[in-house]
């Protein structure tokens, strides 16, 4: 009987013969040629496939094949890099210590071909599953699915292209590091062992300096210039108001041309006394809308001073309600929220808003989050100083409102819950970013046993959270005034995106899911961070009641924290119908 060594020798000889004369040689020749062209790291390919598979698992919002392909391509490239590092560590530190020989060439190339085919089949299988998961998310949000399984398979091809481009950029940088290392060894006499690390350090410093300095400055300069042009655009659907109660009117201290596109829309729309009376069945007043644009204040006047002067001019401090709205980046005000409050109080209201940036919220969030915080605090403090100087019986009800990044700026006016309650008669904040300080304090200190997506803070005595109107009644009718309400959906990426997603699983993914979040969504290190970050760009691309689309839920929020004496459910539904019709019109023409 042959011993083990003889058996292995004969097996190797037989394999070598097959390799020389059969398919093994052809496979090896093709694989060797492909390997020379693309320099494929097969361990990296395996890990890239794993990252790709993670990236097509459900996220918060539905995705079409094009959007998913872009995201999955970036994730696959990250996985490829991780795999390359693991392969290098194995080859450097583990392989030399293993007492095994090198397998024949035909075996090595056959394994490599098998790896490529297996990865391709695994990716295709995950895409089929992903199409089903996307169908579930569309169903949860009451939306029609946009693509079939076959169409979704196109994600794979796009992901391959995107991933290859990312890897190509990395390899270009790697060759640049090697070039710098050779020059350092040749001209500066840096030891060859240290030259690569020194070259990498120099390139990193150069890139960081470039992007944090010249490139960043240039980018934000161009962005500001581009969006300032958009800010100056006029539309036929925004007409200069003639009512003295509106900023931008001939009597206004804030000139029409200086309000910006969002400000002009805000002051030229909204319900008038006739429409309010037709809905409520009672006589109404002309609502006051004050707006201060970035260019409204003169050289010797601040936006805050101009805003207070406009409030005085219009008689805003003599109305029943004064609401301070902190806008999003471009100065946008939620028309449904403003109109809801005006209908509720028969037009006996004053709403103040101001612009602090030309940039949309996403860019403002990246460029300078402090700007909205400073602007929000300065505006509130200026109005509060004037409001609090009046006798208590002569003050209007003081409310604050902010949506998205605006909620962060509105929150910043207060040092804590006690400060907030001592200064306002109610606060409504919608879709708050995860970095909101007060929101984070309330949610992290929620009552034991309550979920992060549906928290209860201190038995709901002062602060409440709602994804739908019925949530505002929880946990009991005892809701003390002044009341603070946060509106937030379980599927809103603006609420749940955080850098903590990189390496720690959040409670909202370890606890039972929210009603419109897929039960199949899982947390994966790094990948989930990028998936939810990608959802930010499509936060409003869903139906009302999901994502960052809060619709007429703002009416329920206002009625919960500041309902007028004659409030009733029938009137509330009449107002809801009217503000939804106005919102449909705005989406059509704006």
DSSP letter string, 64-110: -HHHHHHHHHHHHHHHHHHHHHHHHHIIIIIGGGS---PPPHHHHHH
User: Looking at residue 538, what is its pLDDT?
Assistant: 87
User: Looking at residue 205, what is its pLDDT?
Assistant: 58
User: Looking at residue 206, what is its pLDDT?
Assistant: 56
Residue 88 sits at φ, ψ, to 5 deg, of -65, -40
Strand order in the sheet with 483-487: 288-292, 349-354, 321-326, 397-403, 426-430, 483-487, 463-466
Q: Which of 18-27, 84-93, 224-233, 464-473 has the highest mean pLDDT?
A: 464-473
Is 2 a residue whose pLDDT tops 50? no
Confidence of residue 220 (pLDDT cuts 50, 70, 90): very low
| pLDDT tens, residue by residue, 473-505 | 988 888 999 999 999 999 999 999 999 999 999
Q: Under DSSP, is residue 483 helix (H, G, I), strand (E, B) or coil?
A: strand
Lowest mean pLDDT among 138-147, 245-254, 430-439: 138-147
Q: What is the dihedral of CA 171, 176, 182, 186, to 10 degrees?
A: 180
Residue 86 sits at φ, ψ, to 5 deg, of -65, -40
Comparing 357 with 439, the larger pLDDT belongs to 439
User: Looking at residue 1, what is its pLDDT?
Assistant: 41
Confidence of residue 512 (pLDDT cuts 50, 70, 90): very high
Confidence of residue 155 (pLDDT cuts 50, 70, 90): confident
Can you tell me the distance from the alpha carbon of 271 to that of 288, in angstroms, rounded to the nearest whole number?
11
Can you tell me the distance from the alpha carbon of 337 to that of 402, in angstroms, rounded to the nearest whole number?
10
User: Looking at residue 390, what is its pLDDT?
Assistant: 96
User: Looking at residue 181, what is its pLDDT?
Assistant: 61
Is 3 a residue whose pLDDT tops 60? no
User: Looking at residue 477, what is its pLDDT?
Assistant: 83
Confidence of residue 143 (pLDDT cuts 50, 70, 90): confident
pTM of the predicted structure, to 2 decimals: 0.83
Is 302 a residue whose pLDDT tops 90? yes
User: Looking at residue 131, what is its pLDDT?
Assistant: 87
User: Looking at residue 397, what is its pLDDT?
Assistant: 98
Can you tell me the distance from the alpha carbon of 531 to that of 377, in angstroms, rounded to the nearest whole number?
33
Mean residue pLDDT of the chain comes to: 85
Is 214 a residue whose pLDDT tops 60? no
Q: Which of 187-191, 215-219, 484-488 has the highest mean pLDDT?
A: 484-488
- Per DSSP bridges, beta strands 426-430 and 288-292 are unpaired
Comparing 461 with 96, the larger pLDDT belongs to 461
Confidence of residue 93 (pLDDT cuts 50, 70, 90): confident
Can you tell me the distance from the alpha carbon of 161 to that of 297, in angstroms, rounded to the nearest whole number?
50
Tell me the two tokens of residue 481.
């005034």
Long-range contacts of 182-188 (CB under 8 A, 24+ apart): none
| pLDDT tens, residue by residue, 27-74 | 556 655 655 556 678 899 999 999 999 889 999 999 888 888 888 998
User: Looking at residue 362, what is its pLDDT?
Assistant: 63
Can you tell me the distance from the alpha carbon of 590 to that of 587, in angstroms, rounded to the nearest whole number?
6
With tokens 């929150």, the residue in question is 411
C-beta separation of 575 from 344 below 8 A? yes
Q: What is the dihedral of CA 296, 300, 305, 309, to 10 degrees?
A: -70
User: Looking at residue 168, what is its pLDDT?
Assistant: 80
| pLDDT tens, residue by residue, 413-434 | 999 999 999 999 999 999 999 9
User: Looking at residue 148, what is its pLDDT?
Assistant: 56
Can you tell me the distance from the alpha carbon of 378 to that of 372, in angstroms, rounded to the nearest whole number?
10
Tell me the two tokens of residue 443.
């949610």
C-beta separation of 391 from 416 below 8 A? no
User: Looking at residue 567, what is its pLDDT?
Assistant: 94
Tell me the two tokens of residue 276.
């309010």
Is 234 a residue whose pLDDT tops 90? no
Is 228 a residue whose pLDDT tops 60? no
Q: Which of 23-32, 174-183, 218-227, 339-348 has the highest mean pLDDT?
A: 339-348
Comparing 379 with 82, the larger pLDDT belongs to 379
| pLDDT tens, residue by residue, 524-563 | 888 889 889 989 988 988 999 999 999 999 999 999 999 9
Q: Which residues contact 129 (CB under 8 A, 6 or more apart)?
A: 56
> Residues of the chain with pLDDT > 70: what percent?
79
Total Cβ atoms within 10 A of residue 386: 15
Tell me the two tokens of residue 532.
């939810």
């Amino acid at each position: 009987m042959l011993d083990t060594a003889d058996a292995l020798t004969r097996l190797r000889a037989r394999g070598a013969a097959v390799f020389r004369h059969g398919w093994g040689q052809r496979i090896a020749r093709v694989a060797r040629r492909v390997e020379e062209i693309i320099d494929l790291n097969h361990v990296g390919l395996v890990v890239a496939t794993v990252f790709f598979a993670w990236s097509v698992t459900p996220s918060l919002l539905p995705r079409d094949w094009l959007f998913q392909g872009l995201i999955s391509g970036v994730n696959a490239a990250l996985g490829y890099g991780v795999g390359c590092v693991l392969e290098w560590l194995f080859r450097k530190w583990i392989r030399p210590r293993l007492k095994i020989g090198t397998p024949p060439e035909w075996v090595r190339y056959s394994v490599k071909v098998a790896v490529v085919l297996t990865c391709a089949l695994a990716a295709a299988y995950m895409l089929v599953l992903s199409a089903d998961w996307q169908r579930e998310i569309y169903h949860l949000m009451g939306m029609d699915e946009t693509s079939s399984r076959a169409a979704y398979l196109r994600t794979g091809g796009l992901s391959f292209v995107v991933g290859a481009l990312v890897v190509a950029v990395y390899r270009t940088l790697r060759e640049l590091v090697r070039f710098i290392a050779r020059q350092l060894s040749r001209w500066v006499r840096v030891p060859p062992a240290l030259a690569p690390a020194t070259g990498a350090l120099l390139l990193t410093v150069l890139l960081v300096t470039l992007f944090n300095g010249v490139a960043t400055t240039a980018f934000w300069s161009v962005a500001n210039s581009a969006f300032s042009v958009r800010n100056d655009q006029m539309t036929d659907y925004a007409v200069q108001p003639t009512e003295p109660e509106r900023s931008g009117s001939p009597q206004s201290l804030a000139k029409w041309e200086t309000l910006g596109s969002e400000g002009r829309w805000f002051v030229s729309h909204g319900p008038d006394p006739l429409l309010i009376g037709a809905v409520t069945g009672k006589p109404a007043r002309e609502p006051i809308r004050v707006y201060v644009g970035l260019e409204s204040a003169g050289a010797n006047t601040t936006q805050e001073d101009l805003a207070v002067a406009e409030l005085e001019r219009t008689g805003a401090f003599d109305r029943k309600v004064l609401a301070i709205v902190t806008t999003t980046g471009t100065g946008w005000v939620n028309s449904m929220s403003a109109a809801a409050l005006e209908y509720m109080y028969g037009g006996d209201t004053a709403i103040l808003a101001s612009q602090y940036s030309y940039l949309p919220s996403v860019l403002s969030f990246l460029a300078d989050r402090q700007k909205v915080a400073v602007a929000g605090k300065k505006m509130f403090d200026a109005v509060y100083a004037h409001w609090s100087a009046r006798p208590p019986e002569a003050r209007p009800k003081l409310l604050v409102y902010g949506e998205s990044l605006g909620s962060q700026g509105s929150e910043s006016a207060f040092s804590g819950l006690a400060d907030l309650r001592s200064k306002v008669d109610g606060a409504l904040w919608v879709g708050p970013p995860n970095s909101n300080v007060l929101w984070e304090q309330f949610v992290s200190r929620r009552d034991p046993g309550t979920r992060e997506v549906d928290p209860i803070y201190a038995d709901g005595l002062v602060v409440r959270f709602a994804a739908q109107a019925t949530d505002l009644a929880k946990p009991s009718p005892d809701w003390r005034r002044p009341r603070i309400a946060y509106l937030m959906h379980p599927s809103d990426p603006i609420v749940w995106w955080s850098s903590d997603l990189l390496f720690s699983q959040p409670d909202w993914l370890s606890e039972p899911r929210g009603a419109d979040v897929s039960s199949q969504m899982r947390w994966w290190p790094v990948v989930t961070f990028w998936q939810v970050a990608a959802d930010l760009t499509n936060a409003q691309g869903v139906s009302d009641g999901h994502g960052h689309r809060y619709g007429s839920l703002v009416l329920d929020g206002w009625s919960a924290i500041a309902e007028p004496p004659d409030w009733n459910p029938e009137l509330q539904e009449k107002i809801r119908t009217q503000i939804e019709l106005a919102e449909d019109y705005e989406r059509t023409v704006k």
